[in-house]
Amino acid sequence: MTEETKFSVMVSMFDWIQKSKYSAKKRSKFRKFLDTFCKPRDYFTAVRLILPGLDRERGSYGLKESVLANCLIDALGMSRDSPDALRLINWRKGGAKTGANAGNFALVATEVLQRRQGMASGGLTIKELNELLDRLACSENRPEKISILATLIKKTNAQEMKWVIMIILKDLKLGLSEKSIFHEFHPDAEDLFNVTCDLKLVCEKLRDRHQRHKRQDIEVGKAVRPQLAMRVSDAQAAWKKLHGKEVVMECKFDGDRIQIHKNGAEVHFFSRNFIDHSEYEHGMSDIIQQCVLADRCILDGEMLVWDSSLNRFAEFGSNQEIAKAAKDGLDSHKQVCLFISLFFSSPTLLDMSSILIYLFCCCSCAVSFTLIKLKAEPQLLHVAFDILYVGDTSVIHQSLKERHELLRSAVNPVKGRLEILVPSGGLNSHCPPEKLALKYFLAHAGEPCCSLIAHSLDDVDKFFKQIVENRDEGIVLKDLDSKWEPGDRSGKWLKLKPDYIRAGSDLDVLIIGGYYGSGRRGGELLCRFISFCRVGTGLSDDELNAVVTKLKPYFRKYDYPKKAPPSFYQVTNNSKERPDVWIESPEKSVILSITSDIRTIRSEVFAAPYSLRFPRIDRVRYDKPWHECLDVQSFIELVHSSNGT
Ligand code: ATP
């Protein structure tokens, strides 16, 4: 029975799966483990440890690598400046002998644990592990987390603890996809998970691998895996892919994908990772109650922040802040009401001084409330681009065209708070090209040109060019005849973004330093004499290795603040953006051609005033001498000309 099965048995399976090269072998080992060591009624206890990223029964541990490093140091009773403690804190950097583990926290931790834990298994059972992990997720203070980690360390050896750490970090790096695990578990597991996002339910409903499960539809209140967009390189490729279809082109909004589930008085906001974001309730639930006409409904769309004073979207990433401000504002409002009702309900009990005090409190609350209201000008805005459920029926099987009609009739849009994205026609005189921009979406009532029917490749080209010119995120093309399919990325929706195409001119920049990285690629390169961006993608493993091999003899460690960087390199004081190693001198380095999103961003972490959004290495310019790299002035001019300034 799983509950009493030792965790060491699971660890053997993990090790074996990780070592094996072939997917079929990995899968059969997983099957064997289930058949031999798990009773069907205990499947969830085991599967939640194999797919920890999908387990929503436990909350978040609040332990990313850096916090975990500090907690492990305390759990092991190490002094913070001991070499092993520093190894954990600087896990990205690796050590003199063990550089190979750099960037993999669990491996670095294993090195440290091996020096402290015995070789023999600690005897931890799967049941105990789940209980301890439950406690770890529930505990809100650090001493409790440390004590739970200490217990785990006591009951495991280093190899077992390595896997516990990977479970806590929710990434087992087994080399076996979630899809394969689901398929091996049960042929209908993936489908059922996609419509429920509930791993426990999947494990409990699909105990018998040979008994097929009738396809289940989506339900209000249960997050659904979102339909996704396939990436295409240019308008032509997109048009070819959607050949003969009726196509709608939409702006790609730069916010958070949020599914809104309204179930009578209850409203849930599920993210793409099926986390219920209750912080949106304060800013959005009332609007949903008032403007979504159906009692039960699921809307799919993007949560953004709209700044009504500036008539534009706020920077990506400000959603949570605004949600919090809305919550604080609401709480102050509640306080005001409380004081007023106290004052009116029992005046006879109060003497004059207390009345004064209450009045004063009342005023100060009212003032702070007004201030919050004034300050909270940017507000949450949900742009619903789809509807999945209305009344008592799932509508995902209807065509997008039909769903647009349902969306129109189910929602009364409110400017700047809840908008619907439905096509306003073709590219015609109602929608002159300069208005094909997000900024016109809300600023100009009645002219929402963010969703248009495309009749030709030329239409797609024009729409995309305008989006690029307006420095918006990109476009999404959708087959109007398509169903909404949970978790699908097969090409019914296509995304086209400026960063997938070449910027007008290549940026030929010089590498001046390097970072130890994390993950498979581990290692990114920093460019130009004056630092302005960090880039790690674009080259194949072989190409990247060739660059690193060429530059390695010239790497010099950057041991700030003991040793200053060479004077010809200028970086900021921001500790995050100082490279770990420097290239000894510019003439030893090589030039890289970089492409990026044409939108640059203001930079405070690099020494240059601007940095690049989504940079990618296009190729290595071994042919170009180092001194022919882009100079700062040309870069700034390029930025200004692409900004139209
Ligand atoms: P990216 O990294 O390019 O933002 P992604 O990997 O997060 O994309 P994709 O499936 O590639 O996800 O792109 C779809 C995402 O784009 C959606 O999850 C949604 O958040 C966002 N999006 C913005 N505008 C739209 C739109 N009009 N229709 C569909 N998705 C949109």
Pocket lining: 423 vs ligand 1, CB cutoff 6 Å: no
Pocket lining: 228 vs ligand 1, CB cutoff 6 Å: yes
Q: Among residues of the chain, what percentage have pLDDT more than 90?
A: 48
Question: Model confidence over 266-295: pLDDT tens digits?
Answer: 999 999 999 999 989 988 999 999 999 999
Work out which ligand 1 atom sits closest to the CA atom of 252. 24
Pocket lining: 302 vs ligand 1, CB cutoff 6 Å: yes
Q: What pLDDT is stored for residue 99 in this prediction?
A: 60
Residue closest by Cα to atom 25 of ligand 1: 252
Residues near 437 by Cβ (< 8 Å), separated by ≥ 6?
251, 449, 466, 467, 470, 472
Work out which ligand 1 atom sits closest to the CA atom of 497. 3
The answer on pLDDT for 387 being more than 90 is yes
Ligand 1 centroid distance, CA of 300 (Å): 12
Pocket lining: 250 vs ligand 1, CB cutoff 6 Å: yes
Question: Model confidence over 303-330: pLDDT tens digits?
Answer: 998 877 776 677 655 666 667 666 665 4
pLDDT band at 237 (very low <50, low <70, confident <90, very high): very high
Ligand 1 centroid distance, CA of 147 (Å): 41
Pocket lining: 229 vs ligand 1, CB cutoff 6 Å: yes
> Which CATH code of 3.30.470.30, 3.40.50.300, 3.40.50.150, 3.20.20.60 fits the domain covering 231-311+380-499?
3.30.470.30
Pocket lining: 417 vs ligand 1, CB cutoff 6 Å: no
Average pLDDT over residues 235-244: 92
Work out which ligand 1 atom sits closest to the CA atom of 256. 20
Of 110-114, 226-230, 472-476, the least confident: 472-476
Ligand 1 centroid distance, CA of 252 (Å): 7
pLDDT band at 457 (very low <50, low <70, confident <90, very high): very high
Torsion sign over Cα 119, 122, 126, 132: negative
Work out which ligand 1 atom sits closest to the CA atom of 229. 10
pLDDT band at 637 (very low <50, low <70, confident <90, very high): confident
Work out which ligand 1 atom sits closest to the CA atom of 226. 18
Q: Are 387 and 410 spatial neighbours (Cβ–Cβ below 8 Å)? A: yes
Question: Model confidence over 403-441: pLDDT tens digits?
Answer: 999 999 999 998 889 999 998 755 443 444 444 444 444
Ligand 1 centroid distance, CA of 255 (Å): 9
Average pLDDT over residues 603-615: 69
Ligand 1 centroid distance, CA of 239 (Å): 19
Work out which ligand 1 atom sits closest to the CA atom of 254. 23
Q: What pLDDT is stored for residue 122 in this prediction?
A: 81
Distances (CA, A) of 594 to 536, 551, 613, 614: 11, 18, 11, 10
Find the catalytic residue in 25, 245, 252, 624.
252
Give the highest mean pLDDT range of 10-14, 62-66, 352-356, 362-366: 10-14
The answer on pLDDT for 581 being more than 80 is no
Pocket lining: 30 vs ligand 1, CB cutoff 6 Å: no
Pocket test for ligand 1, best of 231, 250, 254, 257 (most atoms within 8 A of CB): 257
Ligand 1 centroid distance, CA of 227 (Å): 9
Sequence-ordered alpha helix ranges (H) in 93-177: 105-114, 126-138, 142-154, 158-168
Ligand 1 centroid distance, CA of 228 (Å): 7
* pTM value surpassing 0.80: no
Average pLDDT over residues 583-596: 80
Residue closest by Cα to atom 19 of ligand 1: 257
Angle formed by the axes of helices 105-114 and 65-75, nearest 10° = 10
Of 7-21, 401-415, 602-616, the least confident: 602-616
Pocket lining: 111 vs ligand 1, CB cutoff 6 Å: no
- CATH superfamily, region 507-643: Nucleic acid-binding proteins (2.40.50.140)
Work out which ligand 1 atom sits closest to the CA atom of 302. 20
Pocket lining: 613 vs ligand 1, CB cutoff 6 Å: no
In SS3 terms, 525-593 reads as EEECCECCCEECCCCCHHHHHHHHHHHHHHEEECCCCCCCCCCCCECCCCHHHCCCEEECCHHHCCEEE
Q: What pLDDT is stored for residue 568 in this prediction?
A: 67
Question: Model confidence over 465-517: pLDDT tens digits?
Answer: 877 777 678 899 999 999 999 999 999 999 998 764 444 456 777 777 777 65
- In this predicted complex, what is the ipTM? 0.95
Ligand 1 centroid distance, CA of 338 (Å): 43
230/489 Cα distance (integer angstroms): 6
Residue closest by Cα to atom 30 of ligand 1: 252
Pocket lining: 225 vs ligand 1, CB cutoff 6 Å: no
What's the CA angle centered on 312, arms 412 and 596, to 5 degrees?
Answer: 120
Residue closest by Cα to atom 13 of ligand 1: 229
Among the listed residues 543, 546, 526, 542, the one whose alpha carbon sits nearest the alpha carbon of residue 534: 526
Ligand 1 centroid distance, CA of 386 (Å): 13
Q: What pLDDT is stored for residue 436 in this prediction?
A: 47
Residue-range domain boundaries for the chain: 2-178, 231-311+380-499, 507-643
Coil, strand, or helix at residue 157?
A: coil
pLDDT band at 362 (very low <50, low <70, confident <90, very high): very low
Q: What is the DSSP letter of 125?
A: B
Distances (CA, A) of 522 to 94, 103, 104, 519: 11, 6, 9, 5
Average pLDDT over residues 17-43: 93
Residue 361 CA, distance from chain mean position: 42
- Averaged confidence pLDDT in the chain: 80
The answer on pLDDT for 14 being more than 80 is yes
The answer on pLDDT for 354 being more than 50 is no
476/435 Cα distance (integer angstroms): 17
Give the highest mean pLDDT range of 183-192, 605-614, 623-632: 183-192
pLDDT band at 344 (very low <50, low <70, confident <90, very high): very low
Of 219-233, 367-381, 572-586, the least confident: 367-381
Question: Model confidence over 517-573: pLDDT tens digits?
Answer: 554 444 444 555 667 777 777 777 778 878 888 888 888 776 666 667 676 666 666
Among the listed residues 258, 252, 303, the one whose alpha carbon sits nearest the alpha carbon of residue 419: 303
Of 50-54, 89-93, 235-239, 387-391, the least confident: 89-93
252 is catalytic: yes
Q: Which CATH class is domain 2-178?
A: mainly alpha
Average pLDDT over residues 86-110: 79
Residues near 590 by Cβ (< 8 Å), separated by ≥ 6?
510, 511, 547, 550, 551, 620, 621, 622, 626
Average pLDDT over residues 9-23: 94
